[in-house]
Structure formats: structure tokens, C-alpha cells
Amino acid sequence: MIAESLESKKKRTLEIIKRLKKTFPEAAIELHFKNPIQLVVATILSAQCTDKRVNMVTPALFKKYKTAKDYARANVRSFEKAIHSTGFYRAKARNIIGCMKEIMKRFGGKVPNRMEDLVSLPGIGRKTANVILGNIFDVPGLVVDTHMKRIANRLALTRHQDPQKIEFELNEIVPQKDWSLFSHLIIWHGRRICFARKPNCPECPINTLCPSRQDVAHAAVGLKNKG
């Protein structure tokens, strides 16, 4: 098989963005938050958990804890209890409280706006940092979560499995101004059409641009026969 050139991948990606934008004009982050501290907390809670579940837990949490100082001083046991249903609650409590202590100590209680500072905080890796940069500070950030990893591979935009390698490869393909938008579009696409187990290829708006599409005609017949 002849490898696709970078130029061709770039062109294909622009068309992917165009079509997904048309399909999901409202694509945006689905976590609820009103300020940077809330987004840090919600993003850490969203690891291995649905945004829907996180959004059920955060209203009470945000009412009780408002500032970095509130979190830094939280009682670990009662904090763990409050976030219990999001899973991995011990590690998440440790990370959130540890992160807020650092934000107090090193950044005067304010969430920093540079990648190198963000990734130096407990519980924040490049994925979370890019979510924060893109959604709070308007700094383009490419978010490599489970959807991005799966779909970028299906679209043959990368062959890597390592999130950082995927991010750096996509940074070369996707225009920088669109890094955050592309992240939202792919995550929405993954949640609504390009599912992990059974992607809905027949109804996919980018199926003509995807080398992994299942036989669309065949799949459509299969659906018909089922009905």
C-alpha cells in the first residue's frame, strides 16, 4: 500500500472538519463549568467516567468548594464521598486536592495558562491541559482521549497508539487554529456515530473519506433485513 502524503492528509482533514462542522454545528465541551477551577475539577473527575455522570456530581461539589483554597483545605474523607460515583475516587480526590494545593502555593490560587505549568500539577496530563487551554484560555489544544485515539486511527491520520505521539502527528495535519474545534468534533462524532464497537458507517458524514468504513451498501442492506 502506498503511504498517503502529508498534503493529501491535510486536504482530507479539512474536508472532514467541514463535514463534521455541518453535522455537529453545536459541538463543544460537554462538561458543565463556570470558571477555570471548576473545569480543572470536572476534567480530572471525567477520567474513566462519562461527562453526564460528572455533570450530576459537580453542582453540589461546586456549591461546597468554590476556590482553590477550599479544595486545598478539603477533608479527604468527605471529598471522596462527594465524588464517589465518578469512580477511582481515592486517586481523583488525591489529585484534585494536591493540584489545588500546588495552584495555591505556586500560582496564587489561579489556574496557570501554560502547558508546562499545567502538566506540572498533580492529576493533569497533556489531555487535561489541552482541554483547559482550549476551553478557558483560547489557546488551541488537541485533545487525545479515547475517541480521538480510535477515530484518528480509523481515519488513518495516524498509526500511533501513544496519545502524545498521536497529538504531535495530528498537530502537523490539522491547522493550529482548529485544534480545539477538531477535538470537539471528533469527540462528538465518537459519541454519536463512530462508536467503539459498532460504528454507524452507513450514516457517517465522512464515510467517503474513511479508509476503515465498513461496506456501507452491505451494512445498509443488513439494517434493512433486520427491520
Question: Rounded to the nearest 5 degrees, what angle is found at the Cα of 181, between the Cα atoms of 170 and 210?
Answer: 55
Q: Is 140 in the site for ligand SF4 (CB under 6 A)?
A: no
In the complex, least distance from residue 35 CB atom to ligand SF4, rounded to whole angstroms: 35
Given candidates 96, 124, 213, 219, which one binds ligand SF4 under the rule CB under 6 A? 213
The one catalytic residue among 21, 64, 138, 145: 145
Where does residue 40 rank: exposed (0-12), middle (13-18), buried (19+ CB within 10 A)? buried
Catalytic-residue membership of 63: no
Could you tell me which residues come within 8 angstroms of residue 62 by beta carbon, excluding any fewer than 6 positions away? 34, 38, 41
Cα separations (Å) of 195 from 141, 153, 192, 198? Answer: 23, 13, 7, 5
* CB-nearer residue toward ligand SF4: 128 or 207: 207
Catalytic-residue membership of 34: no
The one catalytic residue among 21, 51, 70, 127: 127
Given candidates 8, 193, 215, 224, which one binds ligand SF4 under the rule CB under 6 A? 193
Angle between helices 146-154 and 163-173 (to 10 degrees): 60
* Residues of the shown chain interacting with ligand SF4 in the complex, contacts defined by CB under 6 A: 151, 154-155, 193-194, 199-201, 204, 206-207, 210, 212-213
Catalogue the active-site residues.
127, 145
